[in-house]
Amino acid sequence: MSWLVTGGAGYIGSHVVVALLEAGMEPVVIDDLSSGFARFVPDGVPLVEASLLDTATITATLRDHRVEGVIHLAGFKYAGVSVQRPLHTYSQNVTGTISLLGAMVETGVDTLVFSSSAATYGTPDVDLVTEATPTHPESPYGESKLIGEWLIADVARAHRLRHTSLRYFNVVGSGSPGLYDTSPHNLFPLVFDALVAGRTPRINGDDYPTPDGTTVRDYVHVADLAHSHVVAARRLAAGESLEPVYNLGSGDGSSVRQIMDTIREVTQIDFVPEIAPRRAGDPAQIVASGKLARRDLEWEMRHDLRSMVSSAWEARQAAG
């Protein structure tokens, strides 16, 4: 029996695949390689290159590999870009999830861990986000993730489906030198790319009501995140009860200036970030509580900020 990881050739998905292997579980990857890389998939792990919109191939993969459960990470993940590409976002994230769920129902695969997002909350009016915080997504991406949670819950009511959804904010770091964040929109790769190119990184606003004036966000290490995905999968497969939604958060967060200072120390590239105006709609602080996940999913912040930065930088350097 195996576990299907959708989007398993991506940054987070490939770390989940490694965590499954380390747990003695058998992963199978399906990925259209639109943002993932075949080289991110470990040797010996089957890789099916296909879109989630290809229901027939998903169904065949579930049957051919005797899949017992799915960890669903595939999707279009760029919240800002989703505003300009709503139809593409909904096609990939909503229609793709419908296709996957249909294949699961057809083949009797009844266990699902869904990679949701803190984007479902939008801009919350609380400093510490919990699972009870109202959801008000502000982008097609956030909306598509919330719809995904609704779809899964509806299928669970109509069919036998054990499931949970994991919401998280900023995933950083690396658990392996060969795996790194390639997103053109995330803070760490943006700063690293600027430094490598000899450009000065930029901070958008330094007059927020935070300790150092820059925005505070929740950063979690990708290896810690992957571990809790696997714990969720194992507990669901064992028939244990889980909450429908968990936040994977640090509980305190880090400021953009703290990130910049730590990057300067780790890379030993001396720079003073440029200060640009605030970006419209950027809240001062968004941090999530991981209390429920600590209780049920072995969720821990095993890596401090320096470890997050150093592991990400090492992986970036190894990539060339």
- Establish whether 141 is a catalytic residue: yes
Cα separations in angstroms, 4 against 206, 207, 252, 253: 44, 46, 33, 32
Catalytic choice (121, 141, 168, 246): 141
Distance separating alpha carbons of residues 89 and 137, to the nearest angstrom: 14
DSSP calls for the chain:
-EEEEETTTSHHHHHHHHHHHHTT--EEEEE--SS--GGGSPTTS-EEE--TT-HHHHHHHHHHTTEEEEEE--S---HHHHTT-HHHHHIIIIIHHHHHHHHHHHHT--EEEEE--GGGG-S-SSSEE-TTSPP---SHHHHHHHHHHHHHHHHHHHS--EEEEEEESEEE--SSTT-----SSSHHHHHHHHHHTTPPPEEE-S-SSSTTSS-EE-EEEHHHHHHHHHHHHHHHHTT----SEEEE--SS-EEHHHHHHHHHHHH------EEEPPPTT--SEEEE--HHHHHHS-----S-HHHHHHHHHHHHHHH-
Catalytic residue positions?
A: 141
